[in-house]
Structure 1
Amino acid sequence: MSSDAVVPADGEREVQESPDGPGPEPSLRLVVVTGMSGAGRSTAANALEDLGWYVVDNLPPTVLPEVCTQAKENGIHRLAVVLDVRTRSFFEQLPTMFTELAAAGTMPEILFLEAADDVIVRRQESVRRPHPLQGDGRLLDGITRERETIATLRAAADLVIDTSSINIHQLSSRVAHAYGDSADDALRVTVVSFGFKNGIPVDADLVVDVRFLPNPHWVPELRPQTGLSAPVRDYVLAQDGADEFLQRLQELLQVTTQGYITEGKRFVTVAIGCTGGKHRSTAMAEEFGRRLRQVGLATKVLHRDVGRE
């Protein structure tokens, strides 16, 4: 942020005029919300709107550069656009669209909503809505076509959120953590605990394994508790290697943080796993999140498998 920029209480950036005349044009932060049909794009868009973003749904990509220009001229500094396979020729136009936006000084961020096939099937069937790429085939055929079509876009995403095992309130909370404050150039970290027996989180940037620690599951008085309870937390953190592991993990994140920011990546998800996601990973994730917040990193801790049998 330049020295003449200020961030008022409402979170939007303003640029003050210098004594020699008007200052630079306010920058526009643009988020492209996309992903799988049924994965929560509408929920994410609503959450952004609640945070004060100007949200446009299903906009033809060819007019996006002009919309960004109009947004700047009308004092809009945070714009979110929902784009998906309903938009004809979207993926053919995407490279040209992004090139035009970059040339105009706006670098789009991509928020990609993901979910497992079986979850999407249940959601689509519950609303009795056909998949946009289903055609005359089965619902799974449409999901497969969509996943293949947007694979490149998913790989380029700045933030991927897997909504398979979270509800709309949890999704809104994750969107608020990522886009709800004014520190545009700061890294935001999400720490997720999970159980390997339930699969690795597909939206993780970094996955670590804490199954080298003794398992509280085999301590009768600790078994019914979770890593959120003080006895389990104290037991896990007192084990040989626990503190050193967290120190090394924090050092690793410190090494990569500046590189992430330089490359325009504002979000990173660190997944910490144990066998079931109830004891060791939960306690370690809580402690890791606490340490990151202590050094000034905006950090949210989630526990994917706590409460799951």
Structure 2
Amino acid sequence: MTSERETQQRMVLITGPSGAGRATAIAALEDRGFEAIDNMPLGLVPRLLAAGPPERPLALGLDVRNRDFAPDALLELMDALAARCDIHADLVYLDCRAEVLQRRFSETRRRHPLAPAEAPEAGIAREFDLMRGVRARADILIDTSELTPHDLRAEIARLVAPANGVGLVVSVQSFSYKRGLPRGLDMVLDARFLDNPYWQPNLRDRDGRDPRVQAHVAADARFAPFFERVLDLVRFVLPAYAQEGKSHFGLGFGCTGGRHRSVALAERLAPALAADGWQVTVRHRELDRGGPAAEAATTQEGSPA
């Protein structure tokens, strides 16, 4: 039997304080098949939907800079959308700590829209007060204070738009324990017991995507039985997660520096799961964040990966 939710068109309204990442979130949804409109005036939303639900999932970015924006009007719009049987609408609120927003405005040298002639912190305080009721009403709340743009896109994919709503998306990640666990992982596996390529001078400046590093890691007698057990476990749990309706499964491999062993394992596991028919994404957190400068710094510090 088809549920009412399955017959409704998806609609996502994204808002939050200025500087919290709305443009990044809108772009992430557009990349995942949504029709995306940023800085949408509230008064135009009913006219946009007057002819019926959109043909594709719709994402609207709502900003206090729009002349007709008002928290009460947004809440009334959400009530009206909730009463419709042809649309399923979610309000996504991108939150962020005040000190982080101040730093972002300072780095970009932008004026705050609610304090064009004052310091950004004045506008941030006004916006927090203005948006308090909207934040309380949000269906999905994402704190972007510690998120990079890449992290935010991943959170949007996980919480808002998993693979255009089709099936279970598996995210395989590598990371460094020194920098803490990535957000949103369902399973974490420690690779620090494997032989470390960092101590090989000809491999130290390479990473786990390099075939020579992968061969070194795989040469450890403990690698094959460990990998086979992990693959068997993941193959066992994924169908159960999919059956429960879970849209995202995050698995992380960690090692000391996040550049060699964990990367090699993620690179080996992802294609094996993809060959099984799962939708798989791969992310190497330390490689994404690091770049040449960070890699040079890691080498100079003598920190094992």
How far did residue 294 of structure 1 move? 1.4
More helix by share: 2
Asked if 1:241 is matched to 2:226, the reply is yes
Contact 2:208 2:262 in 1 (8 A): yes
Q: How far apart are residue 58 of structure 1 and its match? A: 4.1
Distance 1:152 1:216 in 2: 49
Instruction: Identify which of 257, 260, 263 aligns with 2:245.
Output: 260
* C-alpha distance 93-139 of structure 1, shift in aligned 2 (>3 A): same
Residue of 253, 263, 266 corresponding to 1:282: 263
Superposition pairs for residues 93-112 of structure 1, below 5 Å?
93=75, 97=78, 100-101=81-82, 103-108=84-89
Q: Partners of 2:197 and 2:73 in 1: how far apart?
A: 49
Deviations 1:24-74 (A, max 9, x none): x9852223334564343224434655776433334466975x35743636x
What is the TM-score when the length of structure 1 is the normalising length?
A: 0.64
CA–CA separation in structure 1 for the residues paired with 2:73 and 2:254: 35
Alignment of 1:156 onto 2:140: yes
Give the CA RMSD over aligned residues.
Answer: 4.7
Residues 186/180 of structure 1: CA separation in 2 closer, same or farther (3 Å cut): closer
Displacement of 1:230: 1.2
Contact 2:36 2:59 in 1 (8 A): yes
Matched positions, count:
275
Name the SS for the 2:59 alignment partner: strand
Partner of residue 139, structure 1: 121
Letter in 1 for 2:124: G
Which residue identity lines up with residue 78 of structure 1 in the other structure? Answer: P
1:226 deviation in Å?
A: 0.7
Q: Summarize the Cα distance change of 1:274–1:67 in structure 2 as closer, same or farther, 3 Å threshold.
A: farther
Q: Does 1:188 align with 2:169?
A: yes
Letter of the structure 1 residue corresponding to residue 230 of structure 2: F
Secondary structure of 2:58 counterpart:
strand
* Structure with greater Cα Rg: 2
Contact 1:33 1:41 survives alignment (8 Å): yes
Cα 1:257–1:120 change in 2 (3 A) is farther
Shift of 1:80: 0.8
| Structure-2 residue corresponding to 1:10 | none
Residue of structure 1 equivalent to 2:205: 224
Q: Which amino acid aligns with 2:198?
A: H
**Letter of the structure 1 residue corresponding to residue 57 of structure 2:** R
Q: CA deviation at 1:228?
A: 0.4
Letter in 1 for 2:52: K
Q: Which stretch shifts more, 96-105 or 34-43?
A: 96-105
Contact 1:131-1:143 within 8 A present in 2 as well: no
- The normalised TM-score by structure 2 is 0.65
Deviation per residue, 1:187-233 (Å, 9 max, x gap) = 2333332212223333x242513244323323443322211011222
Which of 161, 169, 180 is residue 199 of structure 1 equivalent to?
Answer: 180
Give the partner amino acid of 1:93: L
Question: Matched residues in 1 for 2:280 and 2:232: separation?
Answer: 16
Which residue of 2 is the match for residue 251 of structure 1? 236
Write the distance in 2 (CA, Å) between the matches of 1:288 and 1:165.
25
Alignment of 1:1-309 (within 5 A): 27-34=8-15, 37-46=18-27, 48-49=29-30, 53-59=34-40, 66=46, 69-70=49-50, 72=52, 76-83=55-62, 87-89=69-71, 93=75, 97=78, 100-101=81-82, 103-108=84-89, 120-131=101-112, 139=121, 142=124, 146=128, 156=140, 164-166=147-149, 184-202=165-183, 204-214=184-194, 215-237=196-218, 239=223, 240-261=225-246, 266-306=247-287, 307=291, 308=294, 309=298
Q: Percent identity?
A: 29
Extract unaligned runs of 5+ from structure 1: 3-24
Provide closer, same or farther for how the CA distance between residues 216 and 254 of structure 1 changes in structure 2, counting only shifts above 3 A: farther
Instruction: Extract unaligned runs of 5+ from structure 2.
Output: 299-305
CA distance in 1, matches of 2:190, 2:204: 17
